[in-house]
Amino acid sequence: METTQREREPEPKYWHLRTLLSKALDTEFSVGEILPNERELAARFGVARATLRQALEQLELEGRLQRRRGVGTTVAPPRVGVDLSPSQHSWPGWSGDPWTATAAAPAPPPPAVARLLDVRAGEPVEVIHRTLMTHGQPVATEQLYVPGSGEPRLPAAEGPERARWLLRRLQETDASGQDRTVELGAAGAEAARRLERLPGSPVLLVTTRYFAAGRTAAVSVATYRADTCRLTFADQPALTALTS
Amino acid sequence: METTQREREPEPKYWHLRTLLSKALDTEFSVGEILPNERELAARFGVARATLRQALEQLELEGRLQRRRGVGTTVAPPRVGVDLSPSQHSWPGWSGDPWTATAAAPAPPPPAVARLLDVRAGEPVEVIHRTLMTHGQPVATEQLYVPGSGEPRLPAAEGPERARWLLRRLQETDASGQDRTVELGAAGAEAARRLERLPGSPVLLVTTRYFAAGRTAAVSVATYRADTCRLTFADQPALTALTS
DNA sequence: GAGTGGTCTAGACCACCGG
DNA sequence: CGGTGGTCTAGACCACTCA
């Protein structure tokens, strides 16, 4: 008999389950529909609940399912696309900006941000908190760090009006470019609360540097729900035409 | 006695552990160092191994740890940045392209890709497989789908030379732009093997459409290890200067 | 209060790596 | 071979939502 090397390495059960469920979702369920509960599903497939949960976690990670404690597991709608194309007109606070500012106050930024802003560690900067909603669901929270808060006309109250004042001032600066990084992260306690997720949920961490007059005018750290979001980046056809 | 509403909602144990370990990593460990094994750590913190593992999973997700079966858990180096800025010169196969092609063969693309390419479902297209390495580690795999394989001079062998021939032809087309989306995914069996990860590992799924002459000339689906990669997107200063 | 998903336990066995 | 992380089990209890 020929020994077929690299024979059937047994597939983990949770992975096989994931595949089964994935197919079932494609054919037998529609968006928003509620699945049977975990104990029921585990029994039906003849596995422990923990194993079933491992499969569900996978599918949630892929944006196929949505689980809510006390409610149940539902079939998730397709991910929403969020445009992150760089553009002169998309600085925070531009007219048409879908973000809503919730608060602003001076505070020392985390070390990593301080480095990007080129300010001393511990040095306070203005921190603007914003949220992005789509379809009535929160999909992202952001902290915008803006140095140079020593303005006399700045509103004393630490609320939305202070945030709007700072954003208006940002709009007046002479934008010269931006810079983004995207990486996987885990939602901290604060972000988790604002995104209506549990601490540790996977999120996409988008760090943006805004440049003006050769300096870093602001740094944004945005936290997107990884389960419900798809980030999109497009070339501007108008610009590409110019380069020929 | 005053009842402080919204008192201490007890933090999950695994989350608290994550915080403890995170601090320990910052202060008491250096990159590459091996941590005590899971049973040892669990005992030391007085929790079940499963709980300890939940904390380690978090830290691995955040790119702080690296776990390898049969070896141990080590402190991960900082994530490597991968530049994904759109540019005329960065079409697959450009001179200096860090990707290495491993194979090429005609095959029908997955339905989602067929839609992007605007070809009939089931219609075969050329599929080029490539891998991206940095520091001797695989960080991404890619499938490049190129329609219009009915070329007479195309090498018959389904290997690297066929891939290189197709990439050379791609370079000759008149590039007019590109389009990207980034989302979270789970590594399939194939991708997991090539990235030296387990099936279901979190990955960043980058889908790129390449446009030429008003049509979609190619679609790339790239799978990046989410634990070791940071995607970067930069403005081209040259272009931004033109728009003023 | 009934029912959901989330956390946690204590244990077993397996697949893989290295000496 | 011994030691590592990966999988799986069967059970308990908790936090949350909604009728």
Sequence-distant (6+) residues with CB within 8 A of A172 are none
Q: Most A CBs within 10 Å: which of B233, B236, B239, B242, as the mutation test of the A interface?
A: B233
Q: Do B101 and B44 lie in a common domain?
A: no
B230, A181: Cβ pair inside 8 Å?
yes
What is the CATH number for B215?
3.40.1410.10
**What is the rounded distance in angstroms from the CA atom of residue A212 to the CA atom of residue A129?**
21
Helix (H) or strand (E) holding A66: strand A65-68
Which residues lie across from A106 on neighbouring strands?
A126
In the structure encoding, which two tokens stand for residue A19, read together?
């595949």
- Which token pair is B38? 């899971």
Report the pLDDT value the prediction gives residue A152, as an integer from 0 to 100.
Answer: 62
Residue partners of B24: CB distance under 8 A and separation at least 6: none
Q: What is the pLDDT of residue B19?
A: 96
**In Å, how far are A142, A195, A225 from A191, measured between CA atoms?**
9, 6, 10
The domain boundary, picked from A48, A75, A102, lies at A75
Residues of B with CB under 8 A from a CB of A: 11-12, 14-15, 18, 58, 61-63, 79, 81, 84, 86, 88, 176-186, 189, 199-200, 202, 204, 226-227, 229-235, 237, 239-240, 242-243
Please tell me whether residues B40 and B91 are part of one structural domain: no
**Digit-coded pLDDT (tens) for A54-103:** 999 999 999 999 999 999 999 999 999 999 988 767 789 888 889 999 99
Residue B161 has pLDDT above 70, yes or no: yes
B20 with B138, same domain: the answer is no
Out of A30-44, A92-106, B179-193, B219-233, which region has the weakest mean confidence (pLDDT)? Answer: A92-106
Of B13, B45, B75, which closes a domain? B75
- Contact across the interface for B182 and A237, Cβ inside 8 Å: no
| Residue reference for tokens 């404690």 | A69
The 10s digit of each residue's pLDDT in A178-205 is 999 999 999 999 999 999 999 999 999 9
**Cut 0.95: pTM above it:** no
Rounded mean pLDDT, B85-102: 86
Q: Do B11 and B42 belong together in one domain?
A: yes
String of DSSP letters for A73-132 = EEEPPPPEEEE----GGGSTT-TT---EEEEEEEEPPPHHHHHHHT--TT--EEEEEEEE
Which residue is closest to B57 within chain A, CA to CA? A200
From chain A, pick out residues whose CB is under 8 angstroms from the CB of B81: 181
Distance (Å, rounded) from C-alpha B6 to C-alpha A235?
47
Is pLDDT above 80 for B33?
yes
Round to whole Å and give the CA distance between A84 and A82: 6
Q: What are phi and psi of A7, to 5 degrees?
A: -60, -170
On whether both A232 and A161 belong to a single domain, the answer is yes
Q: What are all long-range contacts of B187-196, with beta carbons under 8 Å and residues at least 24 apart?
A: B187/B223, B189/A11, B189/A15, B191/B141, B191/B223, B194/B131, B194/B138, B194/B141, B195/B138, B195/B139, B195/B140, B195/B141, B195/B223, B195/B225, B196/B137, B196/B138
Do B64 and B114 sit in the same domain of this protein?
no
**Position of tokens 């446009």?**
B211
Q: State the Cα–Cα distance between residues A239 and B233, nearest whole angstrom.
A: 16
pLDDT at position B7 is: 40
Q: How many domains does chain A have?
A: 2
Question: Residue B19 sits in which domain range?
Answer: 5-75
Q: What is the DSSP letter of B201?
A: -
In a shared domain, residues A65 and A123: no
How far, in Å, CA of B135 to CA of B133, rounded?
A: 7
Regarding whether A121 and A237 lie in a shared domain, the answer is yes
Single out the residue in A28, A46, A75 at which a domain terminates: A75
| A138 vs A207: CA distance, rounded Å | 19
Contact A190, A198 (CB under 8 A): no
Tell me, yes or no, whether B146 and B214 share the same domain. yes
Q: Which helix (DSSP H) or strand (DSSP E) does residue A170 occupy?
A: helix A160-172
- Taking residues B29-57, report their average pLDDT: 96
Verify that A127 and A199 share a domain, yes or no. Answer: yes
Please give the DSSP secondary-structure letter assigned to residue B2. -
Whether residues B96 and B61 share a domain: the answer is no
Angle, nearest 10°, between helix axes A38-45 and A49-61?
110
Both tokens assigned to B230:
């940071």
**Type of residue at B161:** E
Residues B10 and B112 in one domain: no
Side by side, the strands of the sheet bearing A215-225 are A100-107, A125-134, A137-146, A215-225, A202-212, A175-186, B229-234, B80-83
In a 3-state reduction of DSSP, which class is residue B213? coil
CATH assignment of the domain containing A61: 1.10.10.10
A99 or B159: whose pLDDT is higher?
Answer: A99
- What number is the average pLDDT over the span B96-105? 91
